[in-house]
Structure 1
Amino acid sequence: MPLYENQELKIYNSLTGEKERFKPITKDYVGMYVCGPTVYSNVHLGNCRTFISFDLVFRYLKHLGYKVRYVRNITDAGHLENDAETGEDRIAKKARLEEIEPMEVVQKYTVDFHQILHQFNNLPPSIEPTATGHIIEQIELIKKIIEKGLAYEANGSVYFDVIKYNQSKHYGILSKRKLEDMIANTRELDGQSDKKNPQDFALWKKAEPQHIMRWPSPWGVGFPGWHLECTVMSSKYLGESFDIHGGGMDLKFPHHECEIAQGEAAHDKSPVNYWMHANMLTLNGKKMAKSTGNNILPKELFSGNNDVLSKSYSPSVTRFFMLQANYRSILDFSDEALQAAEKGFNRLMEAISLVESLPESNQSSLNISKWRQNCYDAMNDDFNSPILIAHLFEAVKMINAVRTEQAKITAADKVLLSETMHNFVFDVLGLIPNIDLVSGQDRNRVEKLVELLISLRKKARDNKDFSLSDLIRDELNKVGIQLKDSREGTSFTIKND
């Protein structure tokens, strides 16, 4: 029997503003879509927090026994500067500035994005589609919306008719806005736009001669609107209605609002049952911004090569720090907070390493079953990772009490304690212990295991099984063990993430 049969998960739904009991559309199966990055620059920590938050959701749903299809897109076209309707495509602009092809920009920063999330130990999504890979589907969806009378062509561009849509639906249902207020607060464009109304948004934009990224369409050469890709790819891979849609709080309006309108217009049904939004990061109490210098990239955080923090922090410690706050709350990065997280992380990992050696008794003075359910209750309450972590530190106290003979534990309870700690710390929270915490006899065992894997890798290479050889190298690197090949053979170093 899957765990979800005995656990009642509740999710805070941004659409209703309430925590609701989670009930998937299809039994045993969860469809989840998360808005991915626009790959025109190095991924920043705010983005990372969003993707770590939804990695936690993905991991917990899988832990409960659901089959999860997690779709996270790559925006590689159509996202204009400042989220506006006019101006330059962010990727095309970067390509022009660097004097390279737009797809070189896309490749460079997609690789960076994957490398950083790999260091944070994020699981890859089930499907990672791109906007440029779905141009045909986007054109077909635009045709459908035009046929419904809710979009119109103007001078080679196609716009969604918000006012007409709002006659039968509510544009603003997610962000709790009223169209009348939006209209009242909008300045007239004095005929400078092809749009009927300032609130209308682009489904397809006419490409000016200097625009690098362009595709043929029934309305002329152009490129898709930013909002459209997510509607197209989520409905293609998850269906016209699916369970969970996630993203950063900054995407609620207009991006997610436009997705709802497009989905309703095209398919005559609400596209998503549960909308989830992760909150922002601040740095030393202020908004992160490149322009003010109050900004730090993940690589700068890991290396310590920055002017903001006093030392480096490993990806696992940084991940642990982020998960100490609820995904819906603002989180402030500071030296003091990260140092406290590092100490807590080390305490937690040390306690886990001691569980197997705890003395066993015929009776237990600890209620491990109740503690275990408390851990589930925390995660069932809208993925409340800070409360879960508080319960894990209760276990640290229990472990130390048994170790110092102030408490007793049975063999069965010890197994339950060990399994629960591993399930929540490694499988659900996705933490990886720093190899530096391993010492003495355990370190010798680790080194012998690495040497064994190196010999197996050599055999694989001799047999030209390069996929296995690369897998061994990559998996070792993932846990902080770096291999170095030379003429003399293969050596390894144990690094601190």
Structure 2
Amino acid sequence: MRTYKNNKIKLYNSLHKQKEDFVPVHDGFVGMYVCGPTVYNKVHLGNCRTFLSFDIINRYLRHLGYKVRYVRNITDAGHLLDNEEDKISKQSVLEKLEPMEIVQKYTLNFHKVLELLNLLPPDIEPTATGHIIEQIELIKKLIEKEYAYVSEGSVYFNVKKYDDDGGNYGELSKRKIEDMAANTRELDGQDEKESPQDFALWKKASPEHIMRWSSPWSEGFPGWHLECTAMSTKYLGEEFDIHGGGLDLKFPHHECEIAQSKGCFNKEPVRYWLHANMLTLNGQKMSKSTGNTILPEELISGDNSFFEKPIHPMVIRFFFLQAHYRSVLDLSNDAMMAAEKGFLRLTSAIDKLRTIKPSSTSSFNVYEWVDSCYHALNDDFNTPVLISHLFDAVKLINSLDLKNETLSESDLDIFTQAIHNFFYDVLGLELLTDCLNDNDKLDQTIKVLIDLRNKARLEKDWSLSDEIRDRLAAKGIILKDGKEGTTYEIE
């Protein structure tokens, strides 16, 4: 049986910009924190891709026998826009709802979409508003250690003091203080800071600000960066294994988390920083302002102008998995149609596996194939390589069906179990009834055409015979004539 004890994982650590052997803080246990959504609007597909990437990591670690504590937060306060306005407060005004109504509405949307895409829920899903006390206590500690200062009722992290003490602000994003100073925008509250790079730990609320809490410094609200430090350390400790999120969070959010944690606890908070890359649409960055954007519900329902038909959630999941989580992935109609075609080919073969009968000997090296699948996942969770191996399995299943290849009973059991492990448990895919029904209809239709072609050949109507073969081939359905009759394969 494969376990973490005989599978060495290498993962790409953003902090050091290289692949490293995965060695958790505590043997057999993994603590993983992933930055969750700010619930002020419907979750977008880019977020879904990020969370699905870490769903795969979570699933594979559990498959290997690790005891995983997966924490993914909900940001329901403190996430400021460029003009220092809270996203949730702004949306509450636009929709004429209480801020917590906005939070509840879009948290439910977030959960619904992730459930459609078959993501496992985290073990703990803490909220920022549920951890105000913990955040205040962290601020007190930072003030006591002189890494934070109070100004006009707000509290800021002192980046210069942190760097003077060897903190190295910018170590994750590889930015220099001088460059950050040159690119600092003029925002509200800048005159309260000792330095433009200092970031807010606590903001004094303006009279019109709706969400506010009492603190030793003012009525206000916590900084966005602080909440993740408070919640990750509470549930995973002062040092834990994996911290993940989208690439866009590397700076300033994750950079600030490192500074806060090291300032409080004087140690590196995270062993491995993992970042998922962005999702584009038709070769362009998704943007509401340009209209180049689509919501998951619109993709699933077909209510959009980008795709020729509705896309099943499992096809969307499969499409995401065809690219490595650290690669940019472009969403387009052609790419999605190709993914659907590949997914149906894969599910059809896996369904067919149930009917395969074992032989007395094996002509295929199952152990080598299983090794290649684990090797793909051990190499920084490389799902596209794993999927290529699954399509090798499709070829084998079709060959077993034609009796060109053979598997002994024990090898067939190993092969079947491995398919189940990788397809269902690790990749989180499902054999869908509607997909299989469509496959059955397609199978019966193709067999009718094969019968018509066979009749034409008997009647020496070579023109009709060739036309049937060629028109099917143009649709990716390849007919193969053999001793036991005509079979087909979908490319």
Q: Tell whether the 8 Å contact from 2:40 to 2:87 is kept in structure 1 after alignment.
A: yes
Query: In the TM superposition, what is the alpha-carbon distance from 1:367 to its structure 2 partner?
Result: 0.3
Q: Tell whether the 8 Å contact from 2:76 to 2:129 is kept in structure 1 after alignment.
A: yes
Question: Deviation per CA, 1:187-223, whole angstroms, max 9, x where unpaired?
Answer: 7789952000000000000001100000000001000
TM-score normalised by length of structure 1 = 0.86
Aligned equivalents of 1:191, 1:373: Cα separation in 2: 57
Query: In the TM superposition, what is the alpha-carbon distance from 1:308 to its structure 2 partner?
Result: 1.4
Match of 2:334 in 1: 336
Residues 372 and 102 (structure 1), Cα distance of their counterparts in 2 relative to 1, 3 Å cut: same
Residues 2 and 145 (structure 1), Cα distance of their counterparts in 2 relative to 1, 3 Å cut: farther
Q: Tell whether the 8 Å contact from 2:347 to 2:436 is kept in structure 1 after alignment.
A: no
- Equivalences for residues 26-425 of structure 1 within 5 A: 26-81=26-81, 84=82, 86-167=83-164, 168-186=166-184, 193-425=191-423
Aligned equivalents of 2:186, 2:152: Cα separation in 1: 19
Q: Tell whether the 8 Å contact from 1:92 to 1:212 is kept in structure 2 after alignment.
A: yes
Aligned equivalents of 2:235, 2:263: Cα separation in 1: 19
One-letter code aligned to 1:426: Y
Please give the secondary structure, in 2, of the residue aligned with 1:438.
Answer: helix
One-letter code aligned to 1:142: I
Question: Deviation per CA, 1:123-153, whole angstroms, max 9, x where unpaired?
Answer: 0000000000000000000000000011000
Query: In the TM superposition, what is the alpha-carbon distance from 1:436 to its structure 2 partner?
Result: 1.4
Query: In the TM superposition, what is the alpha-carbon distance from 1:380 to its structure 2 partner?
Result: 0.2
- Equivalences for residues 446-465 of structure 1 within 5 A: none
Count of paired positions: 440
Question: Deviation per CA, 1:310-350, whole angstroms, max 9, x where unpaired?
Answer: 11111100000000000000000001100110011011111
Question: Deviation per CA, 1:357-400, whole angstroms, max 9, x where unpaired?
Answer: 11321110000010001000000000000000000000000111
Amino-acid identity (%) = 63
Q: Tell whether the 8 Å contact from 1:189 to 1:198 is kept in structure 2 after alignment.
A: no
One-letter code aligned to 1:40: Y
Match of 1:494 in 2: none
Q: Tell whether the 8 Å contact from 1:284 to 1:333 is kept in structure 2 after alignment.
A: yes
Aligned equivalents of 1:396, 1:162: Cα separation in 2: 55
Instruction: Verify: 1:7 aligned to 2:4, yes or no.
Output: no
Question: Deviation per CA, 1:441-478, whole angstroms, max 9, x where unpaired?
Answer: x99xxxxxxxxxxxxxxxxxxxxxxxxxxxxxxxxxxx
Residues 224 and 191 (structure 1), Cα distance of their counterparts in 2 relative to 1, 3 Å cut: closer
Q: Tell whether the 8 Å contact from 1:355 to 1:414 is kept in structure 2 after alignment.
A: no
Question: Deviation per CA, 1:37-78, whole angstroms, max 9, x where unpaired?
Answer: 000000000000000000000000000100000000000000
TM-score normalised by length of structure 2 = 0.87
Q: Tell whether the 8 Å contact from 1:321 to 1:338 is kept in structure 2 after alignment.
A: yes
Aligned equivalents of 1:102, 1:149: Cα separation in 2: 34
Q: Tell whether the 8 Å contact from 1:71 to 1:127 is kept in structure 2 after alignment.
A: yes
Q: Tell whether the 8 Å contact from 2:84 to 2:187 is kept in structure 1 after alignment.
A: no
Residues 184 and 345 (structure 1), Cα distance of their counterparts in 2 relative to 1, 3 Å cut: same
Instruction: Verify: 1:429 aligned to 2:427, yes or no.
Output: yes
Question: Deviation per CA, 1:292-314, whole angstroms, max 9, x where unpaired?
Answer: 11111000000000011111111
Aligned equivalents of 1:27, 1:46: Cα separation in 2: 33
